[in-house]
């Protein structure tokens, strides 16, 4: 069954989940930890709706295909159609804030990158995007004040802040809309901070976000 976007306050959302538009290397420290160059423009890719699962259900990634890495990211829910938007128009199109994991088959990705091949199969497989419900937005928040964390078995592994993004949220969403029309139900992932690593089997994960979002999930053995 396809994931249905929901708000934490029970507010109904009348659109189906669409595509997930993602950005790579939006934090300097993360680019450095993977020995990647700092991008001069957003590195964009897409996960299909079939990759999205409820983050609060036990996660069952394809461990048989090699190392699975976690990457926690701030998720944005799009509420209206935009194309070639200005940063202000892009900000106004966002109606929800949530958290997601950009699960990555790291061994597969590295092999594909070495061959110069696209690496969607390392990022877009079924279950590759565990996603939370969304905090509703009644007005544009202070994007720079947003902070989020990932704990694994009680130990903080990642901490990100909007102020540390290479491309700010309004700039990023506007740039995405230049390449892909964004529609209600689409989700945007804004990049992961440093601290990514192998997802442990049997682990308990806790994800928190400014504004009161606090979700816990487990990984199958």
Return d(Cα 121, Cα 53) in angstroms, integer. Answer: 17
Note the pLDDT tens digit of each residue in 122-162: 999 999 999 999 999 876 678 888 999 999 999 999 999 99
User: What is the predicted pLDDT for the residue at 140?
Assistant: 63
Q: How would you classify residue 66: left for phi > 0, otherwise alpha for psi between -120 and 50, otherwise beta?
A: left
Return d(Cα 93, Cα 144) in angstroms, integer. Answer: 17
User: What is the predicted pLDDT for the residue at 169?
Assistant: 95
Other Cβ atoms closer than 10 A to 51: 22
**In the predicted model, is pLDDT for residue 26 greater than 80?**
yes
Return d(Cα 148, Cα 158) in angstroms, integer. Answer: 8
Predicted TM-score (pTM) of this structure? 0.94
CATH superfamily of 39-56+66-218: Fumarylacetoacetase-like, C-terminal domain (3.90.850.10)
């Amino acid at each position: 069954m396809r994931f249905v976007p929901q708000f934490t306050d029970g507010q109904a959302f009348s659109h189906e989940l669409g595509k997930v538009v993602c950005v790579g290397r939006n934090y300097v420290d993360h680019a450095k930890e993977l020995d990647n160059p700092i991008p001069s423009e957003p590195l964009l890719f897409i996960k299909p709706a079939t990759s999205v699962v409820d983050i609060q259900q036990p996660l069952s990634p394809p461990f048989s295909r090699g190392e699975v890495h976690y990457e926690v990211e701030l998720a944005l829910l799009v509420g209206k159609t935009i194309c070639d938007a200005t940063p202000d128009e892009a900000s106004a199109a966002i109606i929800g804030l949530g958290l997601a994991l950009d699960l990555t088959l790291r061994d597969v990705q590295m092999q594909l990158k070495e061959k110069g091949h696209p690496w969607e199969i390392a990022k877009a497989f079924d279950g590759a995007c565990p996603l939370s419900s969304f905090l509703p937005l009644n007005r544009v928040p202070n994007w720079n004040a947003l902070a989020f964390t990932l704990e694994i078995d009680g130990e903080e592994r990642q901490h990100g802040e909007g102020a540390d993004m290479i491309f700010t949220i309004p700039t990023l969403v506007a740039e995405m809309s230049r390449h892909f029309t964004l529609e209600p139900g689409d989700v945007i992932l804004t990049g992961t901070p440093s601290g990514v690593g192998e997802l442990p089997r049997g682990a308990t994960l806790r994800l928190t976000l400014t504004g009161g979002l606090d979700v816990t999930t487990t990984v199958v053995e």
